[in-house]
Structure 1
Amino acid sequence: MISARINYLATRYFDNTCTPAEKLELAEWISRQTDDAVLQQVLGDAWESHVPLIQMPDEMSDRIVAGMFGRTTGTVAVTGTSGAEVVPMRNRRKIWWAAAGLFLMGGIGMWAWQHQPAPAPVAESRQQRYKNEVMPGSNRAILTLADGSTIALDSAGNGLLGRQGAVKIIKQANGELAYIGNGNSEAMYNTMSTPRGGQYHLTLPDGTQVWLNAASSITYPAAFTGKERKVTVKGEAYFEVTPNAHMPFRVAAGNTEITVLGTRFNVNAYTEEPAIRTTLVDGTVSVAVGKISMMLRPRMQARVGKDNVLHVTENIDTDETIAWKNGFFQFTDADMPTVMRQIEKWYDVNVSYEGAIPEKSFGGGIQRSLPLTKVLGILEENGVKFKIEGKKIIVLK
C-alpha cells in the first residue's frame, strides 16, 4: 500500500512546492522501489492533477521513457506547442513518464550525492601538523619562606637569599640551593615548588640531596631538630639521604609514609597517577599506610592506591624509575596516557585526544633536553601522529 505521505510528497514535487528535505525524502523512497507499477501509480496520479507550464516535446519524452524503462509510450501527435498552452489530457500519461524519468535521474542523483562517503582528508605532513616548537623544561623553582615571602630561584642571583632564624639560605654557583648554619627550637618551614616545565636540586639542612621533578613540591624545616627529620612531598622527588641513626628521615607523601636512616630512593606521588610509588635504589626503607608497613630491599617498589592497599613488586628497573633525574624519558611497555602525562609536565603543555585513545605501547629512552617536535617525531615511529597548536598537543586518530 502506498502511504498518504508519499502521495503528498509527489504532488508537492510536481507543484514545485517541495522543500529540499521533502525532495530528498521522496528521492530516497523512489530509490528503494523495484516495481514500475507502484512508481507509475504514485507519479502518474500526481502528474494527472498538475497543469504543466511548459510542454515537453514528444520525441524527448519518448527518449527519456525508453532510456529509463526500456519502452516507449506510443507517441500521439501534439500541435500548438507555444508558451503555456495546456497539454491535451491524452498526452498527459506520456509526459508524466518523462517527468518521472527526469525526477529519477535528478532526484536519485541528488540522493546519491548527499549520501556518498565524505572524501578522505588529505594527510597533513609533519611540518604542517607541528605548527610551532615547544622547548623542554629547565631548572626553575619557587622558594616560599616561613613568612610567606617567595623567591624565584631561576632568576635570583647567587649568594645569600635570606635567613630562617640562625640558618642562611644560599644559592650556590652551580645554581643549587643549600641551607647553612645551626637551627634553634623554633620550626620554620620552607617549601620549594617546581612548575610544569621545571626541575630543581636542593640540599636540605642535614645534607640530604633532593631532586624535584616538574610540577612537584617539598616542604621541610629550615633546620632539623628533635628526634626525626620529616618532610612532605607532592609530585615526584628523588632522595639521597644523609645517614643519621639517631634521627630517622621520614617522607610523607599522600597516604604513604616512608622511613629511612640513609639510602637512595624515589617517590612518585602525583595526584593524577593511580598510585603512590616508592622505589628503593639502595639501602633500606620502611613504607607504611595506616597500620600496615613493609620493609623494602633494593629494586623493590611499594605501591599504595586510592584504596589505601599496599602492594610490593620486586626486580624493578631502577634506572627507568630515576631516568627523569638523569635527563631521560625511559619507557618499558608504557601506554599512551602514561607517556603523555610525562610530556605534559616537562613541556608544560596540555594533551587531548582526537577520538579514542590509541592502544599503543612504547619502549626505549628519549633525552629530555630535546625540543618537543623531536620527541613527538620519535614517538610517531610507533604508528601514532600528533599535532602541536601553541601549548596544546592533539593525539590524532
Structure 2
Amino acid sequence: MEKDILSKLEVARLVALQRLGILPESEERRLLAWVERDKKNKAFYEQLYKKSCNKNTATSPSAADSWNLFEKKYRTGQRTRKQFQRTLYRLVAAAAVLVLAITGTYYYLTQPNEEIITSPRPVSAVQLVLGNGNKIMLDDPQSSVEALKNNAALFAEKQEIDYATAEKETTEIDEIYHTIIVPKYGEYTVRLSDNTTVKLNSESTLTYPVQFKGKERKIRLTGEAYLEVTPDTARRFVVETAGTTVTVLGTTFNVNASAPDGNVATTLVNGKVEIGNGLSTTIIAPGQQAITTPGNSRIEVKKVDTHVVTAWVRDMFYFDEKPLGEIMQELSHWYEFNVIFEKESLKQRKFTIETSRYENIDKVLKLIEETHVVKCRKEGKNIYIQ
C-alpha cells in the first residue's frame, strides 16, 4: 500500500509542476505515459488536474494577490525583485505540490478497494422458478423439497435436481415448466423426466417441463450446457437457444450460447445432431462443431478437440495452443480483472495450459510465467503482461 501512496504523491508533484508550466519535457512525457497506461490512472490524473484548475474556489488567491501579499510582508531594502520572484516561485510551487498531494492521496485512499477475485466461489445460490412464478433457493433442501411437492428429488450435496425419479402424472395435462438459474461461478445438474442429464455452466438458465408431453421433448437454454440425451425414437429432443435449434434422437453434446457476439457453438461428442438457424440446417458428426451467427444463414462446421471444449464439465480450464490474448480474455471474465498487454505482440503468443477453474489466480499466473515467455504483474484490479 505504501508503494501505491508514494506513486500517487509523485504524480501529484508532477501535475503541480505541469500546472505551473515548469515541468521538464522529459518528466511530462513520463507523466503522460503513466496516464495512458490504464483508465484508472487517467481518472486519477483528471481528478488532480481539475482540482488544481478549480476557478470556483473562493479562498484561492490570484497569482498577483499572492505576490503583493508576499512582497508587503517579507521584502527588505537590499533584496531585488528577481530574488523575491525566485523565492515566491519556490513557495508557490511547494504549496501547490502539497495541496495536490494531499488532495490526490485522499482521493486515492477513498476509492473502493477493488481486488481481483482470487478463488471464485458462487455469488449466490442456484435459483428455481416454479410454474406459478414462485422462486426458491436450492441451497435450502428442506424448503425446496416442500415447495417442489414431489415433482423432483433434490440432492444438495451433488448440486443436482432429479425429475426422473419423481411421481409421474397419469392424466394428459399441459406441460408445467420450471426454470433453473445458475449464478456466476456456479454449476448445476438437472436430470429431466426422461432421464436426460443437463449440466449447466456458470451464468446459465434452463427452462424445461416437469414432465414431457406430446411428440417432442423441448427445452430452452441460455448460456452453456453439456447434455447426455436419453434415446427415444418416438420423440425427438430439441434445444432452443439464441435463435438456434439443436435436434437429436440420443447423443452427447455441448451447446455454448454465451459468446458476447451472439454466436452459438454446438459441439458433438457422440451420436448425431441437426443444427438449424431458421434459414438453413446442417448435420454434424462426433468431433465437429457447428457455429451459427445471428443474421447469417451460413452455418460454419469445423473439427475440434471435444476434450478441450468440455473441460468446464470437469471444472477445468484447458487452453490448447491458444493465443495469450484469448486466454487472458477468458480468465479476466472469470476472475474479474482488467488485462493490459505492454506489447501488442504478446497477445499472439500461443500457450497450452490446463488448470482448475477454482484455482487461486496467483497459481494460474505462475503457470503462465513458468513458460519464461512473459511476466505477469498484479496491481489492484489490473494484471499487466510484459
- Do both proteins adopt the same fold according to a TM-score greater than 0.5, normalized to the shorter chain? yes
Matched, 1:362 2:351: yes
Count of aligned positions: 286
Matches within 5 A, 1:39-188: 134-137=118-121, 140-157=125-142, 160-163=145-148, 168-172=151-155, 174-179=158-163, 180-183=166-169, 184-188=172-176
Q: CA deviation at 1:234?
A: 0.7
Distance 1:271 1:257 in 2: 16
Deviates more, 1:378-387 or 1:247-256: 378-387
Distance 2:211 2:301 in 1: 35
Matches within 5 A, 1:1-397: 134-137=118-121, 140-157=125-142, 160-163=145-148, 168-172=151-155, 174-179=158-163, 180-183=166-169, 184-273=172-261, 275-336=263-324, 338-344=326-332, 346=334, 349-354=335-340, 359-360=347-348, 361-381=350-370, 382-387=373-378, 389=380, 393-397=381-385
Calculate the TM-score normalised by the size of structure 1.
0.61
The DSSP-based 3-state class of the residue aligned with 2:367 is helix
Distance 2:115 2:327 in 1: 21
The answer to whether the 8 Å contact 2:183/2:203 transfers is: yes
Distance 1:377 1:288 in 2: 42
Closer, same or farther: CA 249–161 of 1 in aligned 2, 3 Å = farther
The answer to whether the 8 Å contact 1:196/1:345 transfers is: no
The answer to whether the 8 Å contact 1:162/1:168 transfers is: no
Closer, same or farther: CA 364–85 of 1 in aligned 2, 3 Å = closer
Distance 1:147 1:242 in 2: 28
The DSSP-based 3-state class of the residue aligned with 1:359 is helix
Closer, same or farther: CA 362–157 of 1 in aligned 2, 3 Å = farther
Distance 2:207 2:125 in 1: 17
Q: CA deviation at 1:337?
A: 5.2
Closer, same or farther: CA 222–383 of 1 in aligned 2, 3 Å = same
Q: CA deviation at 1:140?
A: 4.8
Q: List runs of 5+ in structure 2 lacking aligned partners.
A: 1-16, 26-76, 87-113
Task: Report the AA paired with residue 251 of structure 2.
Answer: T
Q: CA deviation at 1:227?
A: 0.9
Q: CA deviation at 1:379?
A: 3.0
Distance 2:145 2:262 in 1: 40
Number of the residue aligned with 2:39 = none
What's the CA shift string for 1:221-280, capped at 9, x where partnerless?
A: 111101111111111100000111111000011021000000000000014155210000
The answer to whether the 8 Å contact 2:275/2:290 transfers is: yes
Distance 1:251 1:140 in 2: 25
Closer, same or farther: CA 333–24 of 1 in aligned 2, 3 Å = same
Task: Report the AA paired with residue 367 of structure 1.
Answer: S
Q: List runs of 5+ in structure 1 lacking aligned partners.
A: 1-18, 29-82, 87-98, 104-129
The answer to whether the 8 Å contact 1:158/1:171 transfers is: no
Closer, same or farther: CA 195–302 of 1 in aligned 2, 3 Å = same
Closer, same or farther: CA 383–299 of 1 in aligned 2, 3 Å = same
Task: Report the AA paired with residue 262 of structure 1.
Answer: G
Greater radius of gyration (CA): 1
The answer to whether the 8 Å contact 1:268/1:276 transfers is: yes
Distance 1:21 1:296 in 2: 65
Distance 1:345 1:157 in 2: 34
What's the CA shift string for 1:156-201, capped at 9, x where partnerless?
A: 349835337xx61210363410111324422211111111111111
The DSSP-based 3-state class of the residue aligned with 1:198 is coil
Distance 2:174 2:18 in 1: 82
Calculate the TM-score normalised by the size of structure 2.
0.63
The answer to whether the 8 Å contact 2:191/2:197 transfers is: yes
Task: Report the AA paired with residue 353 of structure 2.
Answer: G
Q: CA deviation at 1:380?
A: 3.7
Query: For the aligned residues, what is the CA RMSD?
Result: 4.0
Closer, same or farther: CA 235–21 of 1 in aligned 2, 3 Å = closer
